[in-house]
Structure 1
Amino acid sequence: MVEGYIMRKILHPGPVAPERVAAVSGSPVRLRFTLEPGCAVDEAITKGFEEAGCMGGFVFLQGGRFEPFKYVIPAASPDALHAAWYSATFEPEGAVEIVRAGAIVGFRDGKRFIHCHGIWDTAEGPRMGHMLARDTKIVDPIEVTGIGMKDAAFQAIPDAETNFTLFEPVTAPGGQAGAGGQRTLIAKVRPNEDVSVAIESICSMHGIQAANVFGIGSLNEVHFVGGSFVKSYATEVLIRRGTVARVDGQPRARLEIDVVDMDGRIFSGEILRGDNPVCVTFELVIEAIEQDAGPA
């Protein structure tokens, strides 16, 4: 970035929280299970997590057919209570197939809650947004994969800064954050923090030099490597491939994403480190991997 450059910011209605990132570690479980036909997506994912004994985590979806399928895209807020909002609900005609999607799994109001962003094929062509998992039903069986956590979870909590109810990483009752030296984290990044730099900060705090990164969230405009730019202060984002590697002795994040803007346009590519601030929130699962201890 150019020296002296000030990254853009979005103004939320509430007081700025002093802690800009949050993360807890737990006991990871590799997941692979089938979403059964006739079930809503949230019901089917809940069943898979419960059978695996997992509290929270991330799952990746690809393929299958869904009908009805409902989703929203980012939109301007209708009032001053929020900095951004959601569009009216879209419900494409006929069955919809998922190209790729990612879901953060947690709890809200005492029940399992699924926060899912992705790209899907509709009769009108590819679309992207925030799936309404409770209102979307499975037509064909679909196998999903992911990472679950036995003793850590995402808990939806009212957030004074944004005036939304947002996922916060928490240690599950009876669990101990970092117990047994676990190296998989669930994490979140707050508004106006560069997502790549924030991931690096989280990794540094937890002694992680290399990792796979999974997650979804929102960015305030998007600046890609190579110079292309998404001019939309509210977006929905899926990390399609995220990694952290040791560079000059420090963790360095590299993120390839899919993103939809407020006009429903879809963009994909590697984002520029240092110029992609979070709009509302970004939710992450960071899976540490072994790396050679030799020179970077």
Structure 2
Amino acid sequence: MAGALRRLAHPGPEAVTRIEAVETDLVAVEGHLPAGTSVMEAVAAFFSERGLAGGVLRLSGGACDPYRYVLPALSTDGEHAAWYSATIAPAGGARLIEGTAIVGRRDGVPFLHCHGTWEADGTVRMGHMLPLDSVLTEPVAVSGHASRTALFDATPDAETAFTLFSPLGLTAAAPSRPVDRRGLFLRLRPHEDVAGAIAAACRRHGVGAAEIHGIGSINEVVFEDGRRVSCLATEIAIEHGVVASGPDGPVATLDVAVVDIDGAIHRGRLRPGDNPVGVTFELVLVEPFPEEPA
């Protein structure tokens, strides 16, 4: 199926491993990011205080001023298959509606990758948050799942010429502490169908059911109802995603929000088999609570 899908022309050789996965224990987290620091500083402190390495956070409410973000854009440098717009800085900042942040590290220090929606200049916008340059002026509610023994590590990627998150298990032993769930940290490479790759990872790792959280890009999004976002550069946030058992194994269902290069926001359920990753897709799969013994 992947060979028949739309393909972006990335500059480097294709990596052999197309679906990167790390199994990990997860803890559920919730709380607030306080006003007064950048989003990145607040998230780093939130994870550090709880002894967490990496995971996913859902950000809701609150405000930032300044607020900085970018949109997806076509590449003009002759190297990258897609790129980003110039930085957008709304006057008066922005009020966050909802964001999904994948949390890990870059150059040895905490880092995050966040796509979301917010209100700026009286209009709902969507894009890629710049967390180092966005300063919290009102607290933001957060919830999610995180690991003490795995994270997403940003490293240079020869295939795409971007620096991108990949899941990484940590070798150092972590103190024994309670965990809530089992899960998978995933990175999907270009041209892989998003739903199909998630299902393949679940088969490989014995996951029959899970919540799906994540963000990424798709080369021309196709929805289940036939609508199409005819744009090779997009930013995606999964608003609701689940893995469930089907007649032939795990099936991934993904309801997403999409922003294109013009800033138009689209929503819908992805059509399985017709949504190839553009540059990358980063995911956290969270298995259900284990059943209590009878």
What interval of TM-score do these two structures reach, taking the shorter chain for normalisation? over 0.9
SS in structure 2 at match of 1:44: helix
Task: Mark the CA change 1:221 to 1:65 in structure 2 (over 3 Å): closer, same or farther.
Answer: same
TM-score by length of 1: 0.93
Deviation per CA, 1:118-171: give whole Å up to 9, x if none.
Answer: 011112401110000000011111221011101001011111100111101011
After TM superposition, give the deviation of residue 78 of structure 1 in Å.
1.8
Question: Once the 2 structures are TM-superposed, how far is the Cα of residue 5 of structure 1 from its aligned partner?
Answer: 9.4
Choose the corresponding residue for 1:105, options 103, 106, 111: 103
1:27 aligned counterpart, secondary structure? strand
Q: 2:167 pairs with 156, 166, 169, which one?
A: 169
Deviates more, 1:130-139 or 1:95-104: 95-104
Q: Does 1:142 align with 2:165?
A: no
Distance of 1:138 and 1:31 partners within structure 2: 20
Q: Give me the whole-angstrom Cα distance separating, in 2, the residues matched to 1:64 and 1:238.
A: 19
- Which deviates further from its counterpart, 95-104 or 203-212? 95-104
Instruction: From the superposition, tell whether residues 290 and 139 of structure 1 become closer, same or farther in structure 2 (CA, over 3 Å).
Output: closer
How far is the alpha carbon of 1:221 from its aligned partner?
A: 0.8
Match of 2:246 in 1: 247
- 2:32 corresponds, among 15, 31, 34, to 34
TM-score by length of 2: 0.94
Provide the residue aligned with 1:56 in structure 2: 54
Find the aligned partners of 2:23 and 2:46 in 1 and give their Cα distance: 21
For residue 172 of structure 1, report the CA deviation from its aligned partner: 1.3
Cα drift, residue 222 of structure 1: 0.3
8 Å Cα contact 1:210-1:290 kept in structure 2: no
Contact 1:38/1:137 (8 A) holds in 2:
yes
RMSD: 2.0
1:130 to 106, 115, 128: 128
Could you say which residue in structure 1 is the equivalent of 2:43?
Answer: 45
1:267-278, aligned counterparts within 5 Å? 267-278=266-277
One-letter amino acid of the counterpart of residue 182, structure 2: R
1:96 deviates by: 1.1
Change (3 A) 1:165 1:19: same
Q: Provide closer, same or farther for how the CA distance between residues 143 and 5 of structure 1 changes in structure 2, counting only shifts above 3 A.
A: closer
Specify the alignment match of 1:188 in structure 2: 187
Task: Confirm or deny: 8 A CA contact 1:13 1:80 kept in the other structure.
Answer: no
Q: Which runs of 4+ in 1 moved over 3 A?
A: none
Segments of structure 1 that go 5 or more residues without pairing to the other structure are none
| Aligned 8 A contact 1:183 1:208 in 2 | no
Question: Matches of 2:86 and 2:284 in 1, distance apart?
Answer: 29
Q: Give 2:110's aligned amino acid.
A: R
The answer (yes or no) to whether the contact 1:220–1:277 under 8 Å persists in 2 is yes
Give a deviation string over 1:177-228, Cα, whole Å, max 9, x none: xxx9x73111100000000000001111110011000000001010001100
- Mapped contact 1:60–1:146 kept (Cα < 8 A): yes
C-alpha distance in structure 1 between counterparts of 2:211 and 2:259, whole Å: 23
Query: CA shift at 1:62, angstroms?
Result: 1.1
What letter corresponds to residue 32 of structure 1 in structure 2? E
- Give the distance between the partners of 1:164 and 1:125, measured in 2 at CA: 31
Q: SS at 2:198's partner residue?
A: helix
Q: Deviation of residue 175 (structure 1)?
A: 4.7
What's 2:117 paired with?
Answer: 119
Aligned residues: 287
Q: Partners of 2:55 and 2:109 in 1: how far apart?
A: 15
